[in-house]
Every structure is written in structure tokens, then in C-alpha cells.
Chains A and B, each alone.
Chain A
Amino acid sequence: MMAQLDLPPIIEVSNLRVAFETDGGPVVGVKDVSFSIRPGETLCVVGESGSGKSVTSLSLMRLVEFGGGRITHGRLAFTRSNGEVIDLAQTDARTMQAIRGNEIGMIFQEPMTSLNPVFTIGRQLEDGLQKHKRLSSEAARARALELLRQVRIPEPERRLRQYPHELSGGMRQRVVIAIAMACEPRLLIADEPTTALDVTIQAEILALIDRLKRENGMAVLFITHDMAVVAQMADRVVVMHRGEVVEAGPVADIFAAPTKDYTRALLAAVPKLGEMRGKLAPERMRVIGMEPVVAISAVAAEPPAQPLLSVRHLSTRFPVRGSLLRRTVAKVHAVEDVSFSLAKGQTLSLVGESGCGKSTCGRSILRLVEAEAGEIELDGWDIRTLSVVDLRRARRDMQMVFQDPYASLNPYRRLIDQVAEPLQNFGIASGSEITDRVAALFDRVELPRNFLRRYPHELSGGQRQRVAIARALAPSPKLIVADESVSALDVSVQAQVLNLLMELQADLGISFLFISHDMAVVERVSHQVAVMYLGRVVEIGPRAAVFEDPRHPYTRSLLSAVPIADPSQRRPREDQNFRPLSSPIFPVGHSPAPSLYDEVTPGHLVLAEF
């Protein structure tokens, strides 16, 4: 349904300003924001972290007050179901409670923590209905069941009696949507509803929100940082930066002809799936202010030389313990008969959805977890048979950069000490040489030298990730395992960090095992790609072969689920239901069939059906 432009807007925000009380005085979270949404319309508010987009959405619900914020200026004109127009900024707490969850519904980012762990799904769906619609408990239960059916949750009767931890992330987010939809709100606010989800589930949830909007004629305020999601969902777009609206307009205009530099930079930094078609080697990300560079390196285009890392028939299984004596009753086959090789100076990406075993695979190679079978050979070291002493030596050659730069740095130690640690541990440098080396590493990752004596909390996420990269570089490794290393970063920062990694590869000849769920990023940076599903590599080959000629059904469904940052290439919006991951848990002693591959073209292998 097209937005009903003749109808008056459901919500009209004008000159919203929100301030937070802090110890250092008031801080303005939102400076000046205005927009309106009509029935049946989706407005996407897009921006990077700290842009004030979430504060805006919380202000509409007046939930911002619970986080210490205060609406200091502006009008939030909301048309209630009885036609009355009220200013939400001035509404008393009681009336707000009657509006929240009733006339305005809200969906949040983290499905894993959005539901109360000690109450049943049924209770959490029913209590809002009982409050707002004064339904009897039987009527509320019936409506809850209907809602679960509406959001297409299988076996809804059973779900009502279940607790949140018994449901998968995608299902929990469906429950959260059902809660938000329970009283048929006029306005639905979705604050990054799919950011924490896998792409296939993201596609399902986006389609679901779109269907509910069309069926109920609600207005949707969709908050996201993801330009691709904007392109797929929005009727109109508001771009926010540092608490202000930078640009607003219809989605097609924003993507086709952005008028502001910031919007252009934001759009440029987003990798688009498919844009690497016909290119031989990985390419730098576009960062506005820098000229596009053609090929990243000469090394990249050369045929793979001798492999630096070769993994053969790697299997890693975790015990599931149970019963009285904590015996192993079953095993999780996290990595199952995985083989690949990685050439010097190249990037092999492991892609797949959460739980597919890609991280375990990376950790097994570094022996951070012990594999159960297989061979790992890194530059002549037979990693799996190394003694503790030799493993320590071998670790000089293989380092890791983790996902969360907030958790991977020690908050109590200065950055210089943390980056110097590998130098000291491996006896590479001592005394004043350490300081010189760390300073040089800081130059290398483009961090100012005056950061040396700072602590992690003084840095932004992107800067912290640079520190983590500097630390990984310190012992001059040959292989770096980057496990979702840019996933937590804003797009512009992500682009810069990816460029840094590619430069390091070109200059130092480092090989990267790049673990990621983001297909567009993978397409941009990889030489080789391995798609993982249920612990196995289902398809592996040169980047162009896997992306341009995907053969395995799972690779295809994964690629088709990725939203494309181009509103002219919208995917059809019928409901999607991907088949859920089956369980990788098997009884002890179960030996699954070996992974056998068909070679489509030289180097492009597809798992044979078994």
C-alpha cells in the first residue's frame, strides 16, 4: 500500500531537542529534529552511533526519561485513535502509560534480552492486552495465540507456555513484534530490529514488518544504521548526524541524488553486494575525501603461490555433558571435516550465519580450542601436534583480532603496555626499543602517538579496533585471524579499518582468515571465500566464482537474503521463511560422512549431496 498522502500525519515531530543530565553538566543528545509520518508510511531514520536516532525514538515513547534524558524543546504532535491531537512532550505519565504499547508499539534491537527471562511468552503477551484492552485472561490468551500466528511462529500453543530461552533469536524477535503489535498500534517504532539477527532472519523480519504495516495501515518509524535496510524498507528517509537532521526526502531521491556531503559519504562507505562483479582483486572501500584507488596490490592478482596455511579434514566437537556423573552424552559438531588452504598475502573469508562454526574454525586453527581431528599446517608448523613450548613460538606467526574492541582490551592498562605485551612475551624487543616499536605500530595503524599513554575508555570503537590490530601486528605475524573484526563498527569507520587491513596485507604480505557474516564486506575484501553451514564448508572457491556463480542452495539462499543498498533493487516482499538450522548435536561415537566436493571449475568446490 502506498502511503496515504492525503491523510493527516499520525505523528508530527517539530524541533525536538533532548538533553541528558550528566556529572559534567547537560549534554544534548538530539539538537533539532523534525519529521512527520502518515498512515501506511515507513520513515527510516538512519545514522551512525551517537547520531541521536535512538534518542529520538525513545523520546516519542517518553522512555528517554528513564535513561536520564529530558525533552527540553519541541512538539511531538500525535493523533490519537479518537482523533484528538496531543503533544506527547507535554503528556502526563498516566496518559503516556495508556498510549505506550496501545497506540504506539515499539520493537528493540536485542531479541536475546528483550524478553523477561523468568516469565512465559504467554504472560508477556497477555499483560499488555489485559491492561489496555481490559480483556479477560481467556480472551487475552486467545488474542496472544492469534498474534503468534500472525507473526508466523510455528506451534503457537506450545510457545505460550515456553520461556524466552527456549526460543531462537529470530523467534524471540517475532514475539517482541507480536507484543508491539498486540493492541494494533497506530504507530510502530522499530529501533534497529534486525541488527542482531542473521541475514536470512533479517529478511524474514523485514518482510513481516512490511506485511503488518500494509495489513493494518500503521505508520512505521524505522531506526537503523544500515543503508541496505533503508533501501529495502523506507518510503522516506531522514539522515541524522550528531543530533541533527542532515537530509530528508523520499528514499529514491536520497539514494540517487544525495545533496549533502555527509549523506554521500555514508552511502559511499556502504559496500553493495554485487558491485565487485568482473573485478579480479579486492578493492579498497570508498571513503569520502580519498580518491578511489584502483587495485589494492599486485600480489593479489597473482595466482596463489605456496599455501601459508593449509587445513585438512578439521573437525572440532564440543561435549554435551549430562546425567548424574557429568558424562559426555552427546557432541556438538561445531566444525565437521573442513579443508581449505590460504596463500601468502591473500584473504580467505569464512562466511555463514551464527552457529555455523566459522568462529570455532578460526579458534581451532590458533589452538584456542582443541580440534578433535584433522591437520593444520602453518608455514611448516604442524600446529595440532606442537608441544606447549613450540606452540608458543608458533603463535608469533598467527595472531587474532576479535569482534568487540570494548571487551578485547584491558581497561586498566595503558595502550602502550597492551601493544607491547606480545613484544615482551616473545622477547622481540626490550627497554626503549619497545616504546619505539609500539610508536611505529601506532603510526602503521594511523593512531596518533599521543594515544600511547592513554587508556581504552578514552578511545572510540574504531580507534580501539586499531589498537587491537596494532597488538596483533606487534610480533610480525604471517597470519591474522580476524573474527568479525569490523562488525561492531559504524560503516564509515568499518570502511577505514577494512582499508587499513588491506593496506597491511599489500605492504607486509600478511594472510588474513576473515570471518564474517556480512556478504557485501566479504565480497569486497576476499580472494577466496568459503561458505559454512552446520559446521561444514558447503562451497569454496575464488571470490568471483562463489559470488557470481553460486552453486550450493545454501549459498544461494544466503545471497538472496542480503538486502541491497539500492531502492531500485527491492526484493519482493512476500513473507519469507527460511528453513531453520538443524541441530549439529549428535550422539557420542557418531561419525558423519566425510565432506565430498564436486569441482565446478578449477578451485570452485561445492559440497556433494549425501
Chain B
Amino acid sequence: MSYILRRLLSIALTLVLISMITFGVTNILPGDVAMMVLGTQSNPTALAGLRQTLGLNDPLALQYWRWVVGMLTGHFGNSLMFKVPIGPLLLQKMTASALIVVMSMALALACAIPLGVWSAVHRNRWQDSTAASAALLGISLPDFFWGIVMILIFARTLGWLPSSGFTDPSVNFIAALQHALLPACALGLGLMAHLTRITRSTMTGILNQEFIRVARAKGLDERTVIWRYALANAIGPVMTVAGLQVGYLFGSIIVIESLFNYTGMGWVTYQALLNRDIPLIETSVFVIATVVMLVNFLVDLLYLAVDPRLRQSR
């Protein structure tokens, strides 16, 4: 219990740090919110007046404080380019991105765990080397390349899935899934390759442990030995790596969402950067960091649930 409290405390501290860094960095970036609002041709008096009303002449610390208090009370401000409140905007985009991130993670895990286990069981035989080569291929090519390949095959040639666009899942869930599937696969492929390697090496170590021999000496069949006795020990480490990969996924969606013209978090962040929409940049970076951290926290809780040793020592 005290472990969970300690983790929450450290998450809170990290969030404070992240908010300071994102706020600091975006304020160093060239660009002036007032000029963004009024346009480059606007008159200096109006600019100065707007700066005054927006509080841009106040000390940075005060501006930071206002931003943080705003977020805590649910006031995220308005996006300069979309001219809408940031809160609802990011909520919608985050839902869209969460759909492809969750799908790609689910697909990656669903393939990586059986493949990794299979490689570990057939260690150093053809099954293993085939899986290893495939994984290397998956890791070495960047995910947008896989995205292009998939568009060519499944959208252009076969016509099974749309090549771009986004549907809100609350409007049409099936269509939303169809739009999300290709980006999710493109993201999931590299992830799967990575997780396959992790599963393989974790399982290889576990299969060499004495308790596996004891399980076999009990007369348990191989299916039970591998899929129950061994895998139960591998889940924790594999999930931890998968959790860390969520951060990498949120980096990758910037490219992938632009490629598929999928208007999610990555796409909106990229647009905000292009258009110097400073409030939107600040908040979206902060939101992504928060989500990544919470996911990792959940993974640690999961690890705690599967491994009794951690429950005691913490």
C-alpha cells in the first residue's frame, strides 16, 4: 500500500517537473501568441493591448501559475488555430489516438507472446531463427514504411480498408475501427517485433530455471509447464517493457497519424507545432506525458498483482 502511495507521490512530482519543462520550452520558442491571434499585419497598439489582456507581460512564473491552476480547474484555454476550447478538443483527439494505441498494443501482444514463447521453446532451431529474422525485419524498418506498404496492399490493391481519414467511435464504431486498423497495424508491427524478442529472452531464462524441471518431474504435461508455470513468470517483465513502449507509441503516432490523415493526438500536436499554437502545444505535450505515466503506473500495479514477491517487499 505504501508502495502505491509512494508511486503516486513520485508521479505527481514528475508531472510538476514536466509541466515546468513544457511551459518553459514552449515559451522560449519563437512566436507570439498575440500576433498569432491578430495576424502579422495587425497594428502595434492592438497587439500591445491584447498582450496586456492575455497577461503576456506578466512574469513567467505568474503565467505558469495561471496555466497550472487553469488545468487543475479544467480550464485549458482556447486553441489559437482551431479557435475552440482545448479541453474538449484534446479529449476527442486523445480518444481517437487511444483507439489506435490500444489496438496496436493488443495486436502486438497477441502475436508477440505466442511467437516469443514458441521461439523460446524451439530455441536455436529453425523456428527460432525464422522468428528472429522476422523480428529483425520488423524492427529495422521504420513504422511509416510499413504504413505505406499496408496502404498499398490493403487499401489500394485489395480495397478492404480505407487508406485515410477518421471516424468518431461514438458516431459509427465499425467505421472507426476500420479507419483505425491500418495505422494500428503499422504501429504494432515494430512493437510486436520488439516484444517478441523480449518474450523470447525472458522465457528462455525461465525455462532454464529449476522450478520448470520440478514441474516436469511432477509429470505435468508440456502445455501446462510452458503456458502456466513458465508464462506466469514472464508476464510481468513483458508487460513492463510493453508499458515503456507506450511512450514510444505516442511519439510514433505523430508520423503515422499524419500519414493516414487520422486526426488524433499526434496529428493535432503536429498541427499545433506547425502553426505555433502555443497553448495547444503546451497542453497536448503535458497530456501525452500524463497518459504515458499513468499507463506505466497501471503496468506496475499489474506486475504487483502477478508477482507475490513484490507485494511483500514493497
Q: Which residues of A contact B (CB under 8 A)?
A: 61, 63, 66, 97-102, 105-106, 108-110, 113-119, 127-128, 131-132, 163, 165-166, 176, 179-180, 182, 322-324, 326
Contact (Cβ within 8 A) A117 B211: yes
Stretch with Cβ within 8 A of A (4 or more), from B17-25, B106-114, B304-312: B304-312
- Separation in Å of the B107 CB from the closest CB of chain A? 26
Whether B69 is near chain A, meaning CB under 8 Å from some CB there, is no
Whether B54 is near chain A, meaning CB under 8 Å from some CB there, is no
Contact (Cβ within 8 A) B214 A179: yes
- Chosen A-B contacts, 8 in total, with CB atoms closer than 8 Å, are A98-B219, A109-B210, A116-B233, A117-B233, A176-B214, A179-B214, A179-B218, A326-B6
Q: Give the residue name and chain of the A residue nearest to B313 (CB).
A: A165
Contact (Cβ within 8 A) B309 A165: yes
Interchain CA distance A100-B225 in the complex, whole Å:
13
Interchain CA distance A131-B229 in the complex, whole Å:
15
Which B residues between 194 and 223 are near A, CB-CB below 8 angstroms? 209-211, 213-221
Question: Chain B contacts of A128 at CB under 8 A?
Answer: 218-220
Q: State which of A117, A179, A322 has its C-beta within 8 Å of the C-beta of B308.
A: A117
Contact (Cβ within 8 A) A108 B218: no
- Separation in Å of the A387 CB from the closest CB of chain B? 36
Whether B9 is near chain A, meaning CB under 8 Å from some CB there, is yes
Q: State which of B216, B217, B221, B308 has its C-beta within 8 Å of the C-beta of A118.
A: B308
Whether B274 is near chain A, meaning CB under 8 Å from some CB there, is no
Question: Chain B contacts of A98 at CB under 8 A?
Answer: 219
Q: Give the residue name and chain of the A residue nearest to B307 (CB).
A: A118
Q: Give the residue name and chain of the A residue nearest to B224 (CB).
A: A127
- Separation in Å of the A63 CB from the closest CB of chain B? 6
Q: State which of A105, A166, A179, A324 has its C-beta within 8 Å of the C-beta of B9.
A: A324
Interchain CA distance A100-B209 in the complex, whole Å:
18
Interchain CA distance A64-B307 in the complex, whole Å:
30
Whether B2 is near chain A, meaning CB under 8 Å from some CB there, is yes
- Separation in Å of the A220 CB from the closest CB of chain B? 15
Contact (Cβ within 8 A) B218 A100: yes
A108 with B210: in contact, given A100-B217, A128-B220 (CB under 8 Å)?
yes
| Further pairs besides A61-B217, A63-B217, A180-B217: 16, Cβ < 8 Å | A66-B213, A99-B219, A100-B218, A106-B217, A108-B217, A109-B210, A113-B209, A116-B211, A117-B211, A117-B233, A119-B229, A128-B219, A131-B219, A163-B309, A324-B5, A324-B9
Question: Chain A contacts of B217 at CB under 8 A?
Answer: 61, 63, 100-101, 105-106, 108, 180
Question: Chain A contacts of B215 at CB under 8 A?
Answer: 116
- Separation in Å of the B124 CB from the closest CB of chain A? 9
Interchain CA distance A99-B5 in the complex, whole Å:
50
Whether B232 is near chain A, meaning CB under 8 Å from some CB there, is yes
Question: Chain A contacts of B312 at CB under 8 A?
Answer: 165-166
Most central of B218, B221, B224 by chain A CB within 10 Å: B218
The 5 A-B pairs with the shortest beta carbon distances in the complex, nearest first, are A101-B219, A101-B218, A100-B219, A128-B218, A163-B308
Q: Give the residue name and chain of the B residue nearest to A179 (CB).
A: B218
Interchain CA distance A307-B209 in the complex, whole Å:
47
Interchain CA distance A187-B308 in the complex, whole Å:
34
Contact (Cβ within 8 A) B2 A113: no
Interchain CA distance A323-B220 in the complex, whole Å:
41
Question: Chain A contacts of B233 at CB under 8 A?
Answer: 116-118
Interchain CA distance A202-B209 in the complex, whole Å:
23
Question: Chain B contacts of A322 at CB under 8 A?
Answer: 2
Interchain CA distance A117-B220 in the complex, whole Å:
17
Question: Chain A contacts of B210 at CB under 8 A?
Answer: 108-110, 113-114
Interchain CA distance A326-B218 in the complex, whole Å:
42
A117 with B307: in contact, given A165-B312, A166-B312, A324-B6 (CB under 8 Å)?
yes
- Separation in Å of the B6 CB from the closest CB of chain A? 6
A127 with B218: in contact, given A63-B213, A165-B312, A324-B6 (CB under 8 Å)?
yes
Q: Give the residue name and chain of the A residue nearest to B215 (CB).
A: A116
Q: Give the residue name and chain of the B residue nearest to A117 (CB).
A: B309
Task: Indicate with 1 or 0, residue by residue over B229-261, a CB within 8 angstroms of chain A CB atoms.
Answer: 100110000000000000000000000000000
Question: Chain B contacts of A180 at CB under 8 A?
Answer: 217
Contact (Cβ within 8 A) B214 A114: yes
- Separation in Å of the B125 CB from the closest CB of chain A? 11
Contact (Cβ within 8 A) B2 A118: no
Contact (Cβ within 8 A) B220 A127: yes
Contact (Cβ within 8 A) B218 A118: no
Contact (Cβ within 8 A) A116 B232: yes
Question: Chain A contacts of B213 at CB under 8 A?
Answer: 63, 66, 108
Contact (Cβ within 8 A) B219 A132: yes
Q: Give the residue name and chain of the A residue nearest to B233 (CB).
A: A118
Interchain CA distance A376-B264 in the complex, whole Å:
67
Question: Chain A contacts of B216 at CB under 8 A?
Answer: 61, 63, 66, 100
Most central of B209, B214, B221 by chain A CB within 10 Å: B214
Q: State which of B9, B214, B219, B224 has its C-beta within 8 Å of the C-beta of A108.
A: B214
- Separation in Å of the B8 CB from the closest CB of chain A? 10
- Separation in Å of the B136 CB from the closest CB of chain A? 22
Contact (Cβ within 8 A) A114 B219: no
Interchain CA distance A163-B307 in the complex, whole Å:
10
Q: Give the residue name and chain of the B residue nearest to A109 (CB).
A: B210
- Separation in Å of the A318 CB from the closest CB of chain B? 15
Interchain CA distance A102-B220 in the complex, whole Å:
10
Most central of A99, A118, A322 by chain B CB within 10 Å: A118
Most central of B5, B216, B217, B220 by chain A CB within 10 Å: B217
Q: State which of A63, A115, A131 has its C-beta within 8 Å of the C-beta of B211.
A: A115
Q: Give the residue name and chain of the A residue nearest to B229 (CB).
A: A116
- Separation in Å of the A190 CB from the closest CB of chain B? 12
- Separation in Å of the B145 CB from the closest CB of chain A? 36
Interchain CA distance A101-B218 in the complex, whole Å:
4
A165 with B308: in contact, given A100-B216, A324-B6 (CB under 8 Å)?
yes
- Separation in Å of the B220 CB from the closest CB of chain A? 6
- Separation in Å of the A178 CB from the closest CB of chain B? 12
Question: Chain A contacts of B232 at CB under 8 A?
Answer: 116, 118-119
Task: Indicate with 1 or 0, residue by residue over B148-171, a CB within 8 angstroms of chain A CB atoms.
Answer: 000000000000000000000000
Contact (Cβ within 8 A) B306 A102: no
Interchain CA distance A205-B119 in the complex, whole Å:
39
Interchain CA distance A277-B291 in the complex, whole Å:
72
Which B residues between 291 and 314 are near A, CB-CB below 8 angstroms? 306-309, 312
Question: Chain A contacts of B214 at CB under 8 A?
Answer: 106, 108, 114-116, 176, 179
Question: Chain B contacts of A179 at CB under 8 A?
Answer: 214, 218
Interchain CA distance A108-B229 in the complex, whole Å:
17
Interchain CA distance A61-B217 in the complex, whole Å:
7
Interchain CA distance A133-B105 in the complex, whole Å:
42
Question: Chain B contacts of A108 at CB under 8 A?
Answer: 210, 213-214, 217
Interchain CA distance A108-B214 in the complex, whole Å:
8
Contact (Cβ within 8 A) B220 A114: no
- Separation in Å of the B123 CB from the closest CB of chain A? 10
Interchain CA distance A326-B5 in the complex, whole Å:
12
Q: Give the residue name and chain of the A residue nearest to B225 (CB).
A: A66
Interchain CA distance A131-B214 in the complex, whole Å:
15
- Separation in Å of the A165 CB from the closest CB of chain B? 5
- Separation in Å of the B182 CB from the closest CB of chain A? 37
Contact (Cβ within 8 A) B306 A131: no
Question: Chain A contacts of B220 at CB under 8 A?
Answer: 97, 101, 127-128, 131
Interchain CA distance A127-B2 in the complex, whole Å:
34
Interchain CA distance A100-B222 in the complex, whole Å:
13
Task: Indicate with 1 or 0, residue by residue over B110-129, a CB within 8 angstroms of chain A CB atoms.
Answer: 00000000000000000000
Question: Chain B contacts of A61 at CB under 8 A?
Answer: 216-217
Most central of B210, B232, B307 by chain A CB within 10 Å: B210
Q: Give the residue name and chain of the A residue nearest to B209 (CB).
A: A113
Interchain CA distance A337-B5 in the complex, whole Å:
38
Q: Give the residue name and chain of the B residue nearest to A323 (CB).
A: B2
